[in-house]
Amino acid sequence: MKINIEIIFRILFIIGLILLFLSMFLDWYYVQVINNQGKLTAAWAYNPFLEWYTITNNDKTFVKPPDLLMPIIIHIIFLFTVGISGYIVLFNDVENKDDLEKLYPYAYINFFLIVLNLYYIFAFPLFYLMPNDLYFPFMKIKNKDIDATYIYYIGPGYILQVISFLFIFPYAIFYYKTIEKFKMRKHSSKRVIKSYIKQSQEPLDLDKLITQEELKIKFTDLPIQEDEISVNKITKKR
């Protein structure tokens, strides 16, 4: 059974796009407070569009974590790029197009999607969580002063971002490499064809050709004339 790697990569890519889209509407991070009796006293969740929202807060002495202030414009660009990449994989596949060079801009859109995906994977914990004393990926801290336990952990939205990268990366690389290889071959064949045409279309020097033909005629006639003169001399002597 022959396995088409390109089809497998495409399917994984589509799954990755769906997961990326869903991740933006799920919770990325949780903070919970457990009292000394083991009951949930307060809990908050972080969503990229909603920021922090309160799940429960039975004790008003506990305040929600500080806003992370992730730029919402990045989220909008990200979702737009996910949509464009979906269009690319469905209607501009490398195996269904003759002129792959026209697909070159699409390869960069897929790369841009990977860059945004990596931004969320690395920037979210490094630049938004840790500077605000929010531990990554999981931490359980006992606060003896208030006799409560804080639990910090990542949510399903962030986990989907990590999983999606593993799904979208192979096809994005395959897409780019296929177009790049086609471009190199096409340009190489163009150079060969242009060189051949240039050699075959060199301008003809008519004067040179006529002169060469005249010389050929003269040199071919000379031996005949000399033979005739020598024959005549011999016959006269006889």
Task: Give the residue extent of every domain in the chain.
Answer: 5-195, 206-237
Burial class (CB in 10 A: 0-12, 13-18, 19+), 9: buried
pLDDT at 219: 66
pLDDT at 184: 60
Looking up tokens 């177009």 gives 179
Residue 178's CB is within 10 A of a number of other CB atoms, namely 17
pTM over 0.85: no
Instruction: Report which residue type is found at 107.
Output: A
pLDDT at 213: 66
Helix (H/G/I), strand (E/B), else coil: 45? strand
Tens of pLDDT, residue by residue, the chain (238 residues)? 445 788 888 999 999 999 999 999 999 999 999 988 889 999 999 999 999 999 998 877 788 899 999 999 999 999 999 999 999 888 876 665 555 666 778 888 999 999 999 999 999 999 999 999 999 999 999 988 888 999 999 999 999 999 999 999 999 988 888 777 766 655 544 454 454 445 555 454 556 666 766 676 766 655 545 545 444 554 444 4
Query: Could you tell me if 13 and 171 are in contact, meaning their C-beta atoms sit under 8 angstroms apart?
Result: yes
Helix axes 156-200, 72-91, angle to 10 degrees: 50
Q: How far apart are CA 169 and CA 55, in angstroms?
A: 35
Question: Of the CATH numbers 1.10.3470, 1.20.140, 3.90.320, 1.10.260, which one belongs to the domain with range 5-195?
Answer: 1.20.140
Instruction: Report which residue type is found at 71.
Output: P
